[in-house]
Structures are given as structure tokens and as C-alpha cells.
Structure 1
């Protein structure tokens, strides 16, 4: 029996990866020496020996799980049932313990199953293939597929026959750890040795391949399934459609979707939501809306994601009133909008400059018990700024901090930009300082907003000081920033400063573009230095950067 077990195990670990070979040789040594398969490291990691009770794993769960005639509302109920079972006379069968372990796995208490499994053995209950496969699953879920292989060795040592579920569980363990190459190797070995993969086995491999973006291989495997007579189920199709949509391969996703329906498999809300999301991301609103109508025709209830996508589509199309109706409809159908859904609708109103309606949505969200996030406030602040209602924007910004929310860089940039557009540069500069003191270092966008404001309104000394401070902070000005400064200097007659800034470009490794060159030449012409303007003009042609037509016909010709 021992020789047969060793022979069985040797082919199972005969893959090309060095890690798999190591695991195999480790198992063979354990079997040959008659050692306990569980490494001592397992008990250190997962087993609390105090009173043989895994107290450290007693985490409550809000769900209920059934085991025969018992219902577990939390982990303590399950532990109580286990303690009762091990003290029964006669002891229950391994089947009952397996059902208990399965319930714990559904509650995601994997460490507890490992500990209880050990206690069960000590009570004299022998494992079967199912209970050991459950144990393998627990180790795999805990990212210890190597321990899972140890349990596989135990199965074979006991003279039991592993099945497709056992191998599929180990394959899934490799996928969980991101080792898709080893998962495929084990899958191939399983097939080569006569174990016929089922739909679940293929689903695991397809999910793993999708996770690493191997969509071409996934499509080939999908075709292979049909060749070998294993029809893909809706889970497999949903996995593929979702991955293709995330990779922006929406046409391919639609093709798989049509093929799926052609085989008689009905799409689910998951299928439709993935496709609608993908179409929305590519701006194909009408097709996305058509799928939502198809869902309705098929009596498929849209979920939160599908409704949110529909609201987003309507807002981007400018049909905010329709989006409002959809929000009302989803609540009537028992689907409660989340903060992101409300944010989408608020943004839709702000895009139409209807900030009063956006504020109503904001207040409605709060009345429904939803807590606005930083993005919610940023949307409204931006709406008030665009409507030139700066004081209300500032008030809302302050309210955000009073609620315990910390404004982010986008929030600061939005209000700073609003203050600048309202020609209130000094307030914008103060907010800029507050931003820095509150631990949010300004980014290039922040500096560009404030520099543009100060330059256009003649605060050139402050602008130059801010420009140099930006450089000292480690941020490198780009062409946009330089053009803002050069344009401001030229506008207020500081042509020398403009020329010096222009000269810095080559030193900083920046290639002046059409706009920067044209601005500089225009300023030099205004200064009356036509020879220098002509020289700059020829240099632009040499650099394959021809100036704007207005510069050629306007300034450089007089």
C-alpha cells in the first residue's frame, strides 16, 4: 500500500516548476518515514492549544448558516455544536463533521477549521476525502498552498483516492497566490493522469487567466471546453465578459455575450452590468441604454451598479431630469442609492449650472442616512464656483472640515480656482498657504492655477516668488507653467524677465512649443527688439516649431 501511495504521489507533483518538485520530494520523505503530514509550523500559526479551544478565531458573523437541524448565527454557535459532537457517545460520523466544517468555510473561518480538524483527529474521528479536501481549501484560502499539498500527501498515505474537486482546490490555491503558471501545470498533470476536469475546474483556470489579463488564452480555453464536451456555464461567461470589458475589448465581450445567448445560457444581472459598464467607459451610451432596456424586457432586475451606470449615462447626455426619475424608480424598487450614485446626479446638475438642484440632491442624500464624502463636497464646491457663488462655495468647504472630513488636493484646487476666477487672488493665496500647512503639498496644477491668477492680475512679484518656491519644493515647472509666467511678464511690459524665463527652457531640458515661442516673440516685438524677434523666429523654424500665423503677419513684420 505504501509503495502504491508513493507512486500515486510522484506523478501528481511531477511538474516542471522547481517549487512543485520541492513540495513533492518533501511529501515523499514524510510518507516514507511515516511522519505526520501536518508540519509543526501549522500548529504554531493556526492552533491555540489552550483548553483545545480556538478562542482567537471567535469572530462574529451576522449571517446564519445551517448544519443539519442546527442554525449557526455566529462562530460561537458553531464551536458549541462542535464541542457537543466530540462529546457524544457514539461519536458522529465524519460526514457530519464535514458538514460542520463546510458551514465554517462559508463563514470564512478558515483558521478555525484547521484547529477543529486537529481536535477531531485527537478525538478519534478519521478523515475522509471530503473533509481533507475542505482542509486543503482552508490552507489555500490562507495562502498556504504548500500546506495544502501536505494534506494531499496525507490523503494518499491513508489509501484514499483524491478526486477532481481535490485537485481543483489546489489549482485554485495557486491562483489565489497569483501563481497561474503552476496552476496550469497542475491542471495539465491532472488531465494527463485521467482526471476529467469539470466546469468548476475550468472556471478556476479561466478566472486565474483573466486575473492576469491572458484573454487570448481564455478564449482558446473556452473553445477547448466545447471540443471536449464540457459546456461553459454562466459563471465562466460572466468572468470572461467582465475581463474583456475591463480591458476595453468591448466588441469581443459583446461577441462572447451573443455566443452565450446562442447556446441557450441566459445572461444575468452580472453579465449585463459588466457590458453596460464597458460600453459606458467607451462612450457608447446608446448601446448601454439598449442593454438596460433588454434587461427590463427579460425581467432582470438591475442592481445598484446597473442603475448607477444608467444615471451616469443620462447625466452625461444632459438628461438630468430623466436621471432623477431613475433615482426615484430604483428606490421604489427597493434598490437604495449609495453615495456614489448621489454624487453622479449632483455632478450632472452642476454640469448644467443647476447648483440649486444639486444642493437638493445633497440634502436628500443626508436625509436618507448617507454620509457625504469629500468628493460630494468637491462636486458642490465646483458647482458653486462655476455659478460664481464663491461665498457659498467657501462656506461649504468649511462645512466639510467641520464634519470631520479632510479636504484633498482636488478640493483645494477647486476652491482656489474659483477664487481666482472671481478675481480674489489674495484669498486664493491664503487658501494655498492653508493647504500647505494642513499637510497637503500643492501639486503642479495648484501652482499653475495660482500663477495664472497672479500673473493675469498684475501681481508679478508674488507670481515670480511663487514660481521659485515651486522649484525649491522639488516640483519641476512644465511648458504650461512657463508659458503662464512668460505671458504675464509680456502683458505687463516685463520683457526682460520674459526673455530670461524663455532662456531657462533649454537649460531645464524643455523644448519650447508653438505657444511658448509665439508668446515670447510677441513680447520681444512689443519691446522693439525686432532683430532678436527675427532670430527667435528662425530658430523656431529650425526646431520644426513654426509660430502661429498671427505672429508672422502681425508682430514680426513691423
Structure 2
């Protein structure tokens, strides 16, 4: 009973969440969805948010995880009704004389692991086995590695691997793959590759799951070319990729905006007789939408549904977002209705896309209605949702509602990010509320948000436009003493303000400072200083700066030419204008 009580207490720490069942799909909605994507305009330039990209990536990751090594259920696992039943069985076995074999205990531990949440319990029970004089075998130790990995203690997993080798046991492919998988999950890809190479060196040949784990990890860190190379080696070694392997490569190529290559892999896998799944279709549809290839996206959607692969929440979110950014918010609302008819509840990404669509049309009232409807339906807004609405209110110059939303966000337990603060600070500066903007700037530090270069640029611009050049320079110099260094945008703001105030001496000094700081002036800064010289009639200096642009590897653009020509015309120097035009 002592073992049962201690193990039960350890098990109580971790409880899994129940899966949400999505209702059956409705056949008559297929035509509605097909029609929706045909509404997309071929002229849309910007499309999908990072939130949708994250949705696809996380779906692929979870599907990959669930597709790892699976073992047939043994009799022990099917005989347990719950954890208490398993612990009672363990306790009975532990007090049986003579003790059952290690393999029988291992079957019991394996059954508990399959319950999906009692990893710390299994670790505790394995210790009790050793205290009872039972020597662990390779299967027991592999189970331990799996448990430590699930508890995000890969370091202890490696300690068990060292024990395996010390005992003279041969690590199995499952042992290595478990560790490789968890190294990838915690972002230690270099170590995962080292372990992969060590595994091969020990004569343990990788299987499809091992290869897929490494390929997925490489794609996550943007090394899609290396992943594709490993795919080739995998096939040369006689190991056949599965749908999860191809999914990782296709999604990696999509993220690299190499959609045509992703489509080539897609065609190749189908030629090999491997049927694509919803994850692959979602990735490709999103990639095509990113490039405004509506016809091809529509064809894939139709192909998918003809195979009885119905759109899921990710598919709908991609389509809703695309339609909204094309300005067709009413059609996106129709898509929302179709989702509901198919038994799917819109999530925070769906609502945020629609809100963003209304915000693009300056319909902040409609965006607010959606925001409230989302909360009413039990869908909790995230920081991204709040930021969309804060931006909408700031654009509409309804700054009080924007401030109220920021406070509400904090009250709801959400942490505003830099976008939240920057949007509101910009809105306050636009209305001339510099004191409030500066107070909010200070609050960022208090709430753990460090201002970024964009934050400083907003404040500098606001101060300069209100004529507070002294305060602007004070802020600029303060920033220079911190970890964050001024960029060209900030220098341009200050140089422009100095030129407009007639203070060319300080403008020249600041312009020269760029070279000292190792920053190369761009066409915009050169044009700003040239414009300042022209305003004051210093045409020789303007012409010298203009000619220096080419020498500094920054050829004049159309705006640069227009500024200097207007300057010479204003001061009646037609001859120089003719030379410049040549």
C-alpha cells in the first residue's frame, strides 16, 4: 500500500487534457467552400498572418509526434481500468515470492506509460523494482528514457543512455529515436544530429521515424536544403519516407517561400503511391495563397474534397484570412457561417482574421462587434486580437477606447507585447498627447517590456513634430547608452527635424556621426540632408552630397533627383539643372 500511495501521489501531479471532438462534416457545404475560394482576387498582394503559419506548423508537429514508434498493446495494458488498478497490480507483483521476472514488470510499466500522463509514476516504480533487487533490461531503461523526455528532462534521459552502455546493453532504435525527438523538441538540433551520427556509427540503422524526426527538426530551423538532402540519403539507404516525412519537407519549403519545389515534392510523393493528408493540403494551399495563386489553391481544395478529405479549422482560417485581406469581409462572414454548419467552432485565429479585415476597411465598429461576439461564445481573445482592435481605435482617433482595451488586456491576465505598446504610443503621438505617450513608454519597463527601435522612432518622431528637439536628442542619447542602438530611421528623423528648423550645423554633425558609428547612409538620409542644404540656398553643398551618393554606393533615386532639381530651380540655377538632367 505504501508503494500505491506514493505512486498515486506522484501521478496526481500530471493530468492530461481531454481531446475535443469535432462533429461530422456536412456534405452539402462542399459547394459553398469551393465557391468561396473563387471569390479571391488575383490582385491581392499580402495574405496570411504568422498566426496561421504557426497553426499549420503546430499541427504538423503534433501529428508527427503521434506518429512515432507504436507498439502493439499487450495483455497487461488492456486489463487495467485505471492507474489505481495498475498500481494495485504492481504492488501485488512486488510482494509475490519469488519475484516475477523483470520483463513482466516492464510490461506493466509500458502499460502505464500508454495512459499518457503518469511518467513520474513510472520513474518511481522503476526505482522500487531496483530496490527489490530486479536488474533493469534494455526495455525498462528505454521506457525510463521516454518518461524523462516527456518530463522535459532530456539530461536525465542521457544519464540512462550512459547506464545502458555501461551495463553492456545495446541501445535500440527506439531508444535513440526517443532522445533525438526530444532534443529536437527543445531546440537542441546540433546535439540531435550528433546523436544521429553516433547511432549510425554504432551500427544502429535509422528507420523512417528516426529520419522523419531529424528532417522535421532541420525544417524547423530553416535548413530545408539539408532536410531534402537527408530525404535523398534516406531513400538511397532503402528506407521509404512516409506521409509525415513528406509533410515536414513540404511545410519547410512553404515557409521558405519555395512553393514550386513543395509542389514538385507533392507530385513525387503521389507518384510513389503515398496519399497526401489534410496537413499537406493545408500547407500547400497556404503557400499558394501567399503568392496569390488562387486558381491553383482552388484546384487543390477541390482535389482534397474529392478525396473526402474535408477542410479543418486550419484550412478555413487560411481561406478566411485570405478573403479578408482581399477586402471581401462579407464573403468571409459567409465562410464563418459555413464552418458553423459543418460543426466547427471558429477559433481566435478565425475571429482575429475577420477583425483585421474590418480594420483594413476602417470599420472599427464592426470589428468591435466581432470581438464582443467572440467573448460571448466563450472564445477568449489573445494579444493579437486586442492589438488589432487597439490599432483600429487608434486609426479612428478614438484613443480612450484604445487605452481601455490595453487595461482590459492586462486585467484579463494577458501580457501586452511591444506591438500593443507601440500602437498606442503612436496613436497618442499622432494626437499630440506626448506626456501620456512618454508615461506609457515608461510603463513598458515596469511591465517587463523593453522598448525596441520602433518604439524609440515613434517617440522621436512625435517629439520632433511638436518642436521638442531638445527632448528628442535627450531620448536619442539615452538610447545610445543602452543595449539598443539607433538605426537609420532615427537618424533621418532627427536630421530632417534639424534641417527644417534651420539648424544645419547640428544636422551636418549628426550626418557625419553615421560614418563614425559604422552606419552607411541610405538614399532617404542623403535626400533629407540635400533638401536641407537646398532650403538654405547652400547649393554647392547640396551638389557635393548628391555626388557623394554614387561614391558611397548609394545611387540617387527619383526622389533625390526631384529634390535637388527643385532646389536649383527655386534658386534660379537653370544651368545646374540641365547638367543634372543629363
Displacement of 1:351 in angstroms is: 1.5
2:78 match? 68
Question: Once the two structures are superposed, what CA deviation does each residue of 1:479-511 show, in whole Å capped at 9, x if it has no partner?
Answer: 222222222233333344433433433333333
Aligned counterparts of 2:95 and 2:550: Cα–Cα separation in 1: 93
Give unmatched runs, 5+ long, in structure 2.
19-72, 184-190, 572-582
Matched, 1:206 2:212: yes
Q: Which position in structure 1 is the counterpart of 2:429?
A: 420
1:379 Cα deviation from its structure 2 partner: 0.8
Are the aligned partners of 2:425 and 2:440 in contact in 1 as well (CA < 8 Å)?
yes
- Classify 1:49/1:307 alpha carbon distance in 2 versus 1 (closer, same or farther; 3 Å): same
Question: Residue 304 of structure 2 aligns with which residue?
Answer: 295
Q: Distance in 2 between matches of 1:130 and 1:204?
A: 18
Query: Which residue of the partner structure matches residue 364 of structure 1?
Result: 373
Within 5 A, what are the aligned runs for 1:529-548? 529-540=538-549, 542-545=551-554, 548=560
Q: 2-side partners of 1:426 and 1:124: how far apart? A: 73
- The SS at the match of 1:276 is helix
Q: Is the 8 A contact 2:418 2:451 kept in 1?
A: yes
What is the CA-CA distance between 1:97 and the residue it aligns to?
Answer: 4.3
- Provide the rounded CA distance (Å) in 2 between the counterparts of 1:60 and 1:459: 57
What displacement does 1:418 show?
1.8
Structure 1 residue aligned with 2:326:
317
Distance, in Å, in 2 between the alignment partners of 1:94 and 1:331 is 53
TM-aligned CA deviation for residue 545 of structure 1 = 4.3
Asked if the contact 1:180–1:209 (Cα under 8 Å) also holds between the matched residues in 2, the reply is: no
Match of 1:255 in 2: 264
Out of 391-400 and 540-549, give the one that drifted further: 540-549
Per-residue deviation, residues 221-272 of structure 1 (Å, max 9, x unmatched): 34336xx4x6543333334434443444433332222232233332222222
CA shift in 2, pair 1:416/1:80, >3 Å: same
Cα distance change on mapping 1:398 and 1:184 into 2, 3 Å: closer
Deviation string, structure 1 residues 334-387 (Cα, Å, up to 9, x no partner): 333332332222112211222122111111111122222222211101012223
The counterpart of 2:338, out of the listed 329, 333, 336, is: 329
**CA distance in 2 between partners of 1:246 and 1:545 (Å):** 32
Q: Check conservation: 2:208, 2:240, Cα contact below 8 A.
A: no
For 2:463 and 2:133, the matched residues in 1 are separated by 82
Q: Bigger shift: 139-148 or 462-471?
A: 139-148
Question: Structure 1 180/109 Cα, relative in aligned 2: closer, same or farther at 3 Å?
Answer: farther
Of 79, 88, 102, the match for 2:87 = 79
What is the distance in 2 between the residues matched to 1:445 and 1:531?
35
- 1:551 is matched with which residue: 563, 569, 575? 563
Residues 1:353 and 1:524: Cα distance change in structure 2 (over 3 Å): same
Deviation of 1:516 after TM superposition, in Å, equals 2.2
User: Deviation string for 1:1-39 (max 9, x for gaps)?
Assistant: xxxxxxxxxxxxxxxxxxxxxxxxxxxxxxxxxxxxxxx
Task: Point out the more displaced range, 328-337 or 340-349.
Answer: 328-337
- For the structure 1 residues 334 and 460, does the alpha-carbon distance in structure 2 shift closer, same or farther, using more than 3 Å as the test? same
CA deviation after TM superposition for structure 1 residue 104, in Å:
1.8
After superposition, the Cα gap between the structure-2 partners of 1:202 and 1:419, relative to the gap in structure 1 and judged at 3 Å, is same
Q: After the TM superposition, which residues 62-211 of structure 1 pair with which residues of structure 2 at under 5 Å, given as runs?
A: 62=16, 67-72=77-82, 75-87=83-95, 97-106=105-114, 107-117=116-126, 119-120=128-129, 134=143, 137-138=146-147, 143=154, 144-145=157-158, 147-148=160-161, 150-151=163-164, 166-174=172-180, 176-177=182-183, 178-187=191-200, 189-190=202-203, 201-211=207-217
Separation in 1, partners of 2:443, 2:148: 51
Distance across 2 between alignment mates of 1:423 and 1:219: 58
- Is 1:215 the equivalent of 2:231? no
The two structures have a TM-score, normalised by structure 2, of 0.72
CA distance in 1, matches of 2:412, 2:256: 38
How far apart are the structure 1 equivalents of 2:535 and 2:139? Answer: 87
Greater Rg by CA: 1
Three-state SS of the structure 2 residue aligned to 1:68 is: helix
Contact between 2:362 and 2:392, CA under 8 Å: does it hold in 1? yes
Q: Residues of 1 paired with 2:16 and 2:484: CA distance?
A: 49
SS in structure 1 opposite 2:207?
helix
Q: Secondary structure at the match of 2:327?
A: coil
The gaps in structure 1 that reach 5 residues or longer are 1-47, 157-161, 192-196
Quick check: 1:136–1:152 contact (8 Å CA) kept in 2?
Answer: no
Distance in 2 between residues matched to 1:432 and 1:114, nearest whole Å: 49
- Aligned counterparts of 1:430 and 1:133: Cα–Cα separation in 2: 56
Query: Compared with structure 1, are the counterparts of its residues 278 and 109 closer, same or farther at alpha carbon in structure 2 (3 Å cutoff)?
Result: farther
Q: Look up the SS of the partner of 2:81 in the other structure.
A: strand
The alignment partner of 2:172 has SS state of helix
Name the count of aligned residue pairs. Answer: 492
Asked if residue 489 in structure 1 is aligned to residue 498 in structure 2, the reply is yes
Q: Do structure 1's residue 275 and structure 2's residue 284 form an aligned pair? A: yes
**Aligned-pair distance for 1:313?**
2.0
Do the aligned partners of 2:390 and 2:402 also contact (CA within 8 Å) in 1? yes
Return the structure number with greater relative CO, CA threshold 8 A, min gap 6. 2
Provide the C-alpha distance between the structure 2 equivalents of 1:115 and 1:465, rounded to a whole number of angstroms.
60
Q: What's the counterpart of residue 575 of structure 2?
A: none
User: Is the Cα–Cα contact under 8 Å of residues 385 and 393 in structure 1 kept in the other structure?
Assistant: yes
